[in-house]
């Protein structure tokens, strides 16, 4: 059976209650804070969906396929590795040098993969097509939406991008963490779906997603700057210098904080550090 009987549920509840009753003060404080934060994420999502309607919710829902492909299909994602490598180093199972090496290689290869897809899709004429009168090119509805997404991200302040990056990777790494609890593919899909839908719908910032969203907008606007300007887009915003300095850097730093500190470090303190200290004490007694 892939479920617990009522008697097993009662026993599990009793066991969980005993664990909670015997929990140390530091883990209790950390987990109490996390519960407040997690409920707050849900409340914020409800506020956004209530204000903006179903389109933003749908946008967030379909985006989750990206992390599903990474986790289930098998790929190296910078933001997920912020959690995986950090908790491994904190537990003494790898060096911080290895962490930085992995993060660096994966970050730039994620960027390369994103740019590859940008140009494959762009040259498929998905975002720009023939004008209605047959003379020249025009933005399609998809192209206008892509440019609007990029302009919104490029218009953020540095601090806003940084803090949205923290919230984003907190949820992304929680999605990965929850997926680790599942033993089958369906369980992993459901574990990933809701946190990812939540971060996208809430308008948080993901460095690797922005490696696609913003270069696509830059490519579109630079291809037809006149049409873009006429449609209300500011071509001066759409440069790689602006993207890197005012979005990619602060979002990446925020993502690192969200994944490495708010997930890896806090869960290390609750679940791994006590066992590590106990093992060290036992080793000292044995010696």
Element (H, E) at 137: strand 137-139
* Residue 31 confidence (pLDDT): 82
- Report the C-alpha gap between 185 and 179 in whole angstroms: 9
Tens digits of residue pLDDT in 138-157:
788 888 888 999 999 999 99
Identify each DSSP E strand in 52-132 by its residue range: 128-130
* Residue 274 confidence (pLDDT): 86
Residue 190 near residue 212 (C-beta atoms within 8 A)? no
Confidence of residue 111 (pLDDT cuts 50, 70, 90): very high
Confidence of residue 256 (pLDDT cuts 50, 70, 90): very high
**Which residues pair with residue 139 across a beta bridge?**
128
Name all domains of the chain by residue range, CATH numbers in brackets: 37-272 (1.20.1080.10)
* Residue 91 confidence (pLDDT): 92
Model pTM? 0.87
- Which one, of 131, 82, 89, 94, lies nearest residue 252 by Cα? 82
Confidence of residue 213 (pLDDT cuts 50, 70, 90): very high
Confidence of residue 38 (pLDDT cuts 50, 70, 90): confident
């Amino acid at each position: 059976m892939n479920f617990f009987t009522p008697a097993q549920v009662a026993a599990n509840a009793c066991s969980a209650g005993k664990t909670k009753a015997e929990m140390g003060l530091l883990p209790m404080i950390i987990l109490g804070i996390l519960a407040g934060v997690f409920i707050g994420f849900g409340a914020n999502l409800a506020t956004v969906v209530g204000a903006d309607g179903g389109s933003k919710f749908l946008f967030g829902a379909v985006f989750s396929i990206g992390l599903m492909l990474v986790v289930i299909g098998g790929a190296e994602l910078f933001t997920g590795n912020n959690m995986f490598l950090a908790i491994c180093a904190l537990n003494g199972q790898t060096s911080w040098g290895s962490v930085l090496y992995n993060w660096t290689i994966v970050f730039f290869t994620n960027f390369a993969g994103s740019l590859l897809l940008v140009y494959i899709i762009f040259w498929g004429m998905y975002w720009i097509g023939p004008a209605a009168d047959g003379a020249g090119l025009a933005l399609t509805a998809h192209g206008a939406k892509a440019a609007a997404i990029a302009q919104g991200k490029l218009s953020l302040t540095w601090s806003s991008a940084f803090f949205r990056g923290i919230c984003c990777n907190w949820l992304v790494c929680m999605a990965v963490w929850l997926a680790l609890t599942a033993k089958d593919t369906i369980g992993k899909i459901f574990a990933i779906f809701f946190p990812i839908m939540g971060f996208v719908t809430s308008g948080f910032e993901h460095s690797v997603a922005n490696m696609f969203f913003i270069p696509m907008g830059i490519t579109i606007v630079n291809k037809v700057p006149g049409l873009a300007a006429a449609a209300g887009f500011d071509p001066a915003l759409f440069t790689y210098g602006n993207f890197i300095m005012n979005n990619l850097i602060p979002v990446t730093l925020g993502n690192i904080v969200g994944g490495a500190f708010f997930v890896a470090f806090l869960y290390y303190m609750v679940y791994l550090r006590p066992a590590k200290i106990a093992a060290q004490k036992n080793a000292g007694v044995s010696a």
